[in-house]
Structure 1
Amino acid sequence: MSLPKCLVLLSTYNGENYIKEQLDSLIKQEGVQLHILIRDDGSKDSTTNIINRFTVQFPNIISLIKASNLGAKASFFELIKAAAEKYPNFEYYAFCDQDDVWLSGKLLRAVSTIGNLHQQLPLMYCSATQMVDKSLTNLKIWPSPPKKNLTIYNALVENIAVGCTIVLNREALQLIASSPPAQVNQIIMHDWWAYLCVSAFGKVIFDYQPLILYRQHSNNVLGGQTDSWFNKWKKRFHRYFQGQNHYIISNQAMEFYKCFHHRLDDTKRLDLHHFIQVADSGPLSRIAYAMSTPFYRQSNADQCILKLIICMGKV
């Protein structure tokens, strides 16, 4: 029996400090037929030189696209497009960041979990991570397993998927690539978009076992998950009242509606349309909707915040 074919989608940018460790860990993945597609987002340091040394050593495993700087989010959408067009025959596709370390069984566990479902529909695997500092010293396991169902009614308003843990089957990759967002700047992040797409038309699986060392350092775009509960919420409220998080969920929801409304069933389409429209309604209508909205976040505290920003018309 042949090994499952898995394409790793890796976006790099000025990652010279950690990219070698990451590539070493990818090469050591067990139980899969591996190829690594790297898109360098215009690095100005020695990142591409390090990658080139790997491509010489592993020419049949690693491919490098040198490109101009678009930012991590747009870079991953370019990788998704390239994967769908040039690598359509792979069974599985995994997102990868440049500064983590994967344990040797990460991909095999992911593809085995998806493969065991035996379903010809879009499937997405994601998992907890072992958070570490820049020297790979353990910090904590994050995030906690979600307690509520992983459906579009959660995915529209909250992302439970850490991007570097995501593995998609072919149907999921083709789904995401089939209707790319016209305005990528309206998308919050590629991993949230993947969760939204697959939860709407397929199935999302969360694995409580961490098989990735998720490095936290000064240049980590998403760091800060080691903050205390109080500091996390203090920063969240500060971002909100400074206007940084106003309308980002609604903007992404509108982009998703434009891309996929014709494929949604009647109930989901009407619920999504109502969610988008409520921001322009009066305060009493917003309060009534907040109390009865079918959309939900995983924790009670986050659900209260969702209802608050709906009431304020800032979702």
Structure 2
Amino acid sequence: MDIPNFLILLSTYNGEKYLAEQINSLLSQKGVNLHILIRDDGSRDTTLSVIQTYMNRYPQIIRCLEGQNVGAKCSFFELIEFAAGLHEHYDYFAFCDQDDVWKENKLSRAAELLSKEDPNKPLMYCSSTQMVDSDLHALNVWPRSPRKALTVYNALVENVAVGCTTVLNGKGLETLTSSLPCHRNQVIMHDWWAYLGISTLGRVIFDSEPFILYRQHSSNVLGGQTDNWITKWRKRFKRYFKGQNHYILSTQAKEFLACFKSELDHETLRDIEDFIKGTSGNLLRRVSYALRTPFYRQSRADHGILKLIIILGKV
């Protein structure tokens, strides 16, 4: 069996504290060939110095693009776009955050599971993570294995793919880059977009075994999954009543249609269009749609919240 070739897409921003530990874990991956493509998102600390040190040691493996600060989402989209012309040179493409630690068989595990599928089909691997504190002490495993199918009917309304665990095959990357979103502010996050695209046009594989130490610390751009359920729901309601999450699902659905409408089968196209219409109509239409929507979230509680926000007209 040939050794799989990986391109790791790593976005950095003011990551001097943990970046070396992460890069060391990437370089320690077993059973794969890899290159690391870094995009620095306008760091103002010593992140670029750390990267330069590793580039000097591993000039054939590590490359860095220096960019302006556009935020994690757009930084990853720029990496995805840059990688578009490279999909013939690599078997797999892996998203990577700057502050985690990967177990040495993370990539070989992804390659093992993806290699069992049809390589001509868009494929995506994602997994649970071993959440740890800033000193890598174990917290809990998150997320748990999804209970329901990983299809567009979940991906349009919920993201189960943790970006730092995500691996795409060449066809998966090609699918995403064939029609990148023109309005990236309409996209919730790059990993959600990948989950939505591949679950619709290909196949998503979820691995319940964690191969990444997902560090939780005060400087995380995203995180917070260590909260207990009371704190978690309090934060959700606070964000909702501040209007932070209003219309994000329908807005992303519209952008997805703009990109991939011609690629969708009749049933999927009809159901997404019904979602957009049903969630934006009058109260009677919204209630009717909430009762019959084919879209679902994984947990019963989250699915109930979905129906509620449809009725409230804030999807």
Shared fold per TM-score greater than 0.5: yes
Matched with 2:244 is: 244
**Whole-angstrom CA distance in 2 between matches of 1:302 and 1:86:** 38
Deviation larger for 271-280 or 129-138: 271-280
Deviation string, structure 1 residues 35-72 (Cα, Å, up to 9, x no partner): 00000011111001011110111111101111111110
Letter in 2 for 1:274: D
Matches within 5 A, 1:76-225: 76-86=76-86, 88-225=88-225
Letter in 2 for 1:283: L
1:85 Cα deviation from its structure 2 partner: 2.0
Deviation string, structure 1 residues 117-161 (Cα, Å, up to 9, x no partner): 234100000000000000111101101110000000000000000
Letter in 1 for 2:130: Q
Letter in 2 for 1:166: T
1:226 Cα deviation from its structure 2 partner: 0.6
Residue correspondences, number: 315
Deviation string, structure 1 residues 259-283 (Cα, Å, up to 9, x no partner): 0011100000010011111233111
Letter in 1 for 2:27: I
1:87 Cα deviation from its structure 2 partner: 5.1
**Whole-angstrom CA distance in 2 between matches of 1:146 and 1:58:** 39
1:182 Cα deviation from its structure 2 partner: 0.7
**Whole-angstrom CA distance in 1 between matches of 2:186 and 2:281:** 22
Matched with 2:70 is: 70
Deviation larger for 175-184 or 79-88: 79-88
Deviation larger for 291-300 or 218-227: 218-227
SS in 2 for 1:146: coil
Normalized against structure 2, the TM-score is what? 0.99
**Whole-angstrom CA distance in 1 between matches of 2:265 and 2:301:** 30
1:96 Cα deviation from its structure 2 partner: 0.1
Letter in 1 for 2:49: N
SS in 1 for 2:221: coil
1:303 Cα deviation from its structure 2 partner: 0.4
Matched with 2:282 is: 282
Matched with 1:49 is: 49
**Whole-angstrom CA distance in 1 between matches of 2:28 and 2:230:** 39
1:165 Cα deviation from its structure 2 partner: 0.1
8 Å Cα contact 2:119/2:169 also seen in 1? no
Matches within 5 A, 1:7-22: 7-22=7-22
Deviation string, structure 1 residues 146-201 (Cα, Å, up to 9, x no partner): 00000000000000000000000000001111101011011000000000000001
**Whole-angstrom CA distance in 2 between matches of 1:133 and 1:18:** 12
SS in 1 for 2:279: helix
Letter in 2 for 1:285: R
1:224 Cα deviation from its structure 2 partner: 1.2
SS in 2 for 1:280: coil
Matched with 1:311 is: 311
SS in 1 for 2:34: strand
**Whole-angstrom CA distance in 2 between matches of 1:60 and 1:119:** 27
Letter in 1 for 2:37: L
8 Å Cα contact 2:122/2:171 also seen in 1? yes
1:88 Cα deviation from its structure 2 partner: 3.6
**Whole-angstrom CA distance in 1 between matches of 2:280 and 2:166:** 35
Normalized against structure 1, the TM-score is what? 0.99
SS in 1 for 2:118: coil
What are structure 1's unaligned runs of at least 5 residues?
none
Letter in 2 for 1:163: G
